[in-house]
Amino acid sequence: MTIAVLPEVAPRTDDLSIWPASTTRLPHGGLAVGGVSLAELAERFDTPAYVLDEGEVRERCRTYRDAFPEAEVLYAAKAFLSRAMVRWVQEEGLGLDVCSAGELELAVTAGFPPERIVLHGNAKSPRDIATALRLGVGRIVIDSPSEIARISAAVGAHGHQKVMVRVVPGVSAGGHDKIRTGTDGQKFGLSPSDGSAQHAIARTLGQPQLELTGLHCHIGSQITTVEPYVVALRRMVELMARMRDEHGVVLPELDMGGGHGVAYRPGEAALDLTALARQLRVELIESCAATGLAVPRLAIEPGRAVAGPAGVALYRVLAVKRTGEKVFVAVDGGMSDNPRPALYGVRYAPRLVGRHSTAAPCRATVVGRHCEAGDILADDVELPGDVHPGDLLAVPVAGAYQLSMASGYNMVGRPPVIAVHAGTARLLVRRETLEDFRSRDIGG
């Protein structure tokens, strides 16, 4: 599908700073992403739907590669994964970070080299471990003492597997309590403060079929400042130096995880990638020099920062209800395709597309169609006062942790994913249908 993209002068308040770089204005209030009209996409593929800008994904991969030329950049598949996404990140030179046999098998069957994949997770199933070994995954991140024996047994006496140990560095960072993973008292990793990290490292070194290549940490998600990463890196290097002194082993890798924050609304802070790369590089060199440690190869795991700003969610307005001073705009999706507002209180910036309105703005709450009072997609946002059923709403920064966390609640069905690039659109993931639900239900 190819369309002509025509320029239109926009009001000064019409902020597209958080939209994909390819976003352009069309006449009569329309928007195009990747050279394709969002209104035409809604007509062609129906709503709700996710639009993913291939060019934006690729450019963000390149930005990471340029910022961290000596590091290993691993795309965090949990943000969003499809066969097309696998191909894009592979072609742009990134590795892959997965946390299940499902993500791993999809990636490898799509042609991704398994040796460039890292598997982690706090509770790996026997299937996860068996699949990783069968496919030849590059590294497995050990998250608990019991995994050492389980992985060793699965590898066998004559096998070999590279592993890392996940450490909790005691740094609190992230946009919400539920996504802060760098401190004691949560389910991930092993802590140096109680000795569990040191004990796991020693046990792993005692397994001849396991090759400990380095340490791993992940301090949280949606982090918008550099300092927590600098502090975490310093503590990780100190632990690596202590392990060298105690065991005579110099670990060649240090994985600092991801969690790089993005702006979901105009004016919000985002992590400065250039500053992050510069300060981590300086801190790594200085910390290693201070401890006499050989500089390990750095690894990072961006997910949201690659996929999130490349996605746009499209919804059709079903109803507008005015209750006292509140205006509720109900759309044809909701928490089944984006549970993040209900889980984390995330705030988005939806906008009307497809028609130009001269009505005065109103404050509205965009809600979903599900049987939950908490099914709110965007609270207290500005929309045209004449918003009505049939209108099309677009929500930017929708590429990460939306469809990947979607559910089958109310049997509504998960939306499709449409890739746009250079004026063309193609379906990546089809819409989930009633037939899909029926085919899984084999009772009678």
Distance CA 38, CA 30 (A): 7
Residue 362 is among the residues annotated as catalytic for this protein: no
Distance CA 52, CA 241 (A): 43
Closest CA to 29 of 6, 48, 46: 6
Q: And the tokens for 235?
A: 């503590």
Q: Which of 61, 99, 362, 371 is the catalytic position?
A: 371
Q: Cα-flanking dihedrals φ and ψ of residue 152, to 5°?
A: -60, -45
Q: What is the DSSP code (8-state) at residue 239?
A: H
Closest CA to 265 of 10, 13, 11, 17: 17
Question: In the chain, how long is the greatest CA-to-CA distance?
Answer: 73
**Helix residue spans in 36-144 (DSSP H):** 38-45, 54-67, 83-91, 101-109, 126-135
Active-site residues, by number, are 371
